[in-house]
Amino acid sequence: MQISQPQLRVFDALIVGSGASGGWVAKELTERGMLVLMLEAGPPRLPSRDFTEHVWPYQLKFRGFGDTKALLENQPVQRLCYACDEYSHQFFVNDHENPYTFPDDKPFMWIRGRQVGGKTFCWARESYRYSDNEFKAASRDGYEQDWPFSYRDLEPYYDKVESFIGVSGAAEGLPQMPDGKFLPPMRLSCGALVAKETIEKKFGLRVTPDRVANLTVPHHGRPACHYCDQCQRGCYTASYFNSPAVTLPAAWRTGRLTLVSDAVVSHVVINAEGKAAGVHYVDGAAHKHAEARARVVILAASALESTRILLNSTSRGFPNGLGNSSGVLGRYLMDHFTLEGAGGIMPALTSSKRQPTGNPCGFLIPKVLNTAGGPVNKNFLRGYRFDGDASQSLYGHAFGIPGFGSDFRRKVREEIPTYFGLMAQGECLPRYDNYVELDPEKKDVWGIPALRIHASYGENEHRMAKAMREDVAAILDAMQLENAEMPREELSMFGKNIHECGTARMGKDPKKSVLNAFNRLHDVKNVFVTDGACFVTQGCYEPTLTIMAISARAGEYIAEEFKRGNL
């Protein structure tokens, strides 16, 4: 993809960020005739240089264990993410260049990917629709507020996104987890099929293959997944969704997209009429300051980054940040919490025959508690779901086998275990006291104020976790595992699941929200925020598919309003 510098002209629209959200907005605007400038804070990624899904450990300097010194020195936070290692650390930021702060008693893990494509190179690809259990949760249980639209309003945009990017999955007919426009589902492993039979018979729960943005058949010129099972390292064949392979080329083909990489946006520029005139940015390599101009500004830089830009966009009319007349900008931060580490060996599946490996998909047990028509647990609001898988160990089991010589080799070859693992993921309530603000002292390497993040899980999350742990224990018992291990007692660190949402939420009431139902600031009619910052609730499912559907809807709205002269 060609990457050029913006000419000295005013674009129709300027998009900050090139990931899941920015890619969809760019596609919608350019295909509807608008001239678009996209600014991305990081560099482009080249498959021949940066993708490592087919690299063997012996081809790496540290054999996949990582250049410990470099990772510790430059990525002490990022390396806490399972996907940040010697193979793929290039997809994650340098923590020293991109600092943030938090109170000592409220640790936060901020995992970031600054490059053309954002985090879409190494996301987990799980793609679930929200339902009115999420969009209208407040109407059901009375806590906080509803989204300003319903599932029916977003349904056609879910259809559009799934049909274009390709999502494999099985239709289950569950009202709390709507079916979509699916490609054939990925097959469950032998162990997962045994688990499915046991769990469905014992507990009456539904067990279904994960719905993932991996292709199981050729789709729009992209080949099907070849099951190397190293998706977090990039994908030469573009067999899963990432914006540089799917949405950005569609926008580029229109001839109306200009993309500038290594452009770190600091703030939105407001003119004398109180409207956005463009943005101020810093060249990431040369550290030179510049401005880019446009009639419409769309922030799609990720939830916390877009909010940081708004907070830093102060002026006489907006002394506390752009769009913050309500005082809720930066508030209501959410991230899923998980119970992890549960599992054990399935003794009946120990084998001397190695099964085909490389399935990038496990199974899902959808949310059932506290859904419309479902069972109710009055000890907490909202609910949770489970993820799991069961697969053979490649050679990892060899490290735990005692002995040596021919008998040891025989055990490694002929006693291949199958490990069953289970994780529970719960919904985080939107709370006013989970918030971000600009740090009064700390700045990033480009001189832009860093974020200070105040976030912790509350009583509701801890009560929910108790029920989650009890359910996990019951499932492990029913599976009759050897060496079964319960999940770790502590909840996952806030931010660890990389599903941060909220801080610039939508709403009908400008006094209680930042954005309207189409992602436009209540305070400034030509500024939009289309990423996860707009979320009102989070549910217990991954947010990326919903972010893309919201972005497609917002893009359509922006283009129509622009043509009418309303922006």
Both tokens of residue 38?
């996209």
Q: Is 461 helix (H, G, I), strand (E, B) or coil?
A: helix
Residue found under tokens 């993820």: 387
Report the distance separating Cα 426 and Cα 412, nearest Å.
38
Name the CATH superfamily housing domain 10-125+241-334+432-456+496-564.
Answer: FAD/NAD(P)-binding domain (3.50.50.60)
pLDDT tens digits for 158-209?
999 999 999 999 999 999 999 999 999 999 988 999 999 999 999 999 999 9
pLDDT for the residue numbered 6? 56
Domain boundaries, the chain: 10-125+241-334+432-456+496-564, 182-229+337-426+458-485
pLDDT for the residue numbered 195? 95
**Backbone φ and ψ of 206, nearest 5°:** -90, 135
pLDDT for the residue numbered 2? 39
Phi-psi group of 480: left, alpha or beta (phi > 0 → left; psi -120 to 50 → alpha; rest → beta):
left
pLDDT for the residue numbered 414? 67
Q: What is the pTM of this model?
A: 0.95
Does residue 427 contact residue 536 with C-beta atoms inside 8 Å?
Answer: no
pLDDT for the residue numbered 79? 92
pLDDT for the residue numbered 545? 98
pLDDT for the residue numbered 547? 98
pLDDT for the residue numbered 348? 87
Contacts of 414 (CB under 8 A, 6+ apart): 352
Report the distance separating Cα 550 and Cα 503, nearest Å.
16
Does residue 88 contact residue 17 with C-beta atoms inside 8 Å?
Answer: no
pLDDT for the residue numbered 3? 42
Apex 551 CA angle, 545 and 553, nearest 5: 105
Residues of the chain with pLDDT under 50: 1-4
pLDDT for the residue numbered 488? 84
